[in-house]
Amino acid sequence: MIATSTVVMFVLMYLNTYLIGHVFFSETRAYMAVLMGSAMAFVMLAFMWAMYSSPKLNMVILTGAVVACAAMLWLVRSQATVGDLSYMRAMIPHHSIAIMTSNRATTEDPRVNALAEGISYAQNKEIAEMRYLIDDIKANGKATSGGEQPTARVSSLDAALASPMIRTLDAQPMTEAELTAGLPGGVACRFTFTTESPAALAVGEAGGEPVALLKISDDLVRLPQTAPGSFATDGAEVRLTSPDGAQALGTEPQGQVEATAVLTLEAGLTAGYRGFFACDA
């Protein structure tokens, strides 16, 4: 009964996941389920001591419950067994809870609305990055270096505000009005972080030429097409491929498929996103 309850509690932890695609196995949730099952065994036996006629058996069960509870608590708190992949698989459903709450909460204060929108965007973007990194580490192994972080220097406020932090730049979600302004020839395809999020990259026409549209640092940037699935301008490149990176994505009509987008800035940024790509018929 306790084992069944533990499994049920583990499954129930995923019911507040926003999208089914955000369900990944989480070591931490497994430890928490066993911890709760152990505590449940202790409480049940304390209230139903006469359930087993043997006092020795009762003591064995109580001791086992206490040991299991303590061990699971240590594993949860220390994260000693959680590595790169386990960490990201656990964080994806955790982020999904924040997305669900931010998207569905009944907020009225415009400041709270803006905060919720920002949280939802950040969590969607980070899930796309983690899905990309999971695939990349499984295929290519762990990176040996994350690159050198720039050293902060003393400067004026104007200089600080005028200097973008390149390593924190990302493809931002775009509104329909922004898509229309950036792609007057129409939007043919969209890359999104999730199946329901706004376009983080769009492909269409501008001036009669195929281009990709990005929103970076609150500015719309067009990147002319250089090859199937590749778009580049001075200092920046975007590649759209299948999740394994083996096939470039074209703009022929297709339903929503899983895809990878890799954004590279010569100024010092490479960011990968595992999301979804769809082209209108």
Three-point CA angle 60, 38, 79, nearest 5°: 120
Nearest alpha-carbon partner for 74 in 25, 35, 43: 35
Note the pLDDT of residue 169: 74
Residue with tokens 């389920």: 33
List phi, psi (to 5°) of 73. Answer: -65, -40
Q: What is the mean pLDDT of residues 135-154?
A: 78
Q: Give the chain's end-to-end CA distance (angstroms, integer).
A: 53
pTM over 0.85: no
Cα(160)–Cα(137) distance, integer angstroms:
35
Cα(272)–Cα(143) distance, integer angstroms:
14
| Half-sphere exposure at residue 136, Cβ-oriented, CA atoms within 13 angstroms | 17
Amino acid code (one letter) for 92: I
CB neighbour class for 24 (10 Å; exposed up to 12, middle 13-18, buried from 19): buried
Reduced to 3 states (helix: H, G, I; strand: E, B; else coil), residue 79 is: coil
More confident residue, 227 or 148: 227
Note the pLDDT of residue 91: 96
pLDDT digits (tens, 9 = 90+) for 203-221: 999 888 899 999 988 889 9
Reduced to 3 states (helix: H, G, I; strand: E, B; else coil), residue 46 is: helix
Q: What CA–CA distances, in Å, run from 32 to 87, 122, 188? A: 15, 26, 46
E strand spans, 167-235: 187-192, 199-206, 209-216, 219-227, 230-233
Q: Output the six-digit token pair for 244.
A: 């394994």
Q: What is the mean pLDDT of residues 275-280?
A: 93
Note the pLDDT of residue 18: 93
pLDDT digits (tens, 9 = 90+) for 160-197: 656 666 666 788 899 999 999 999 989 999 999 998 89
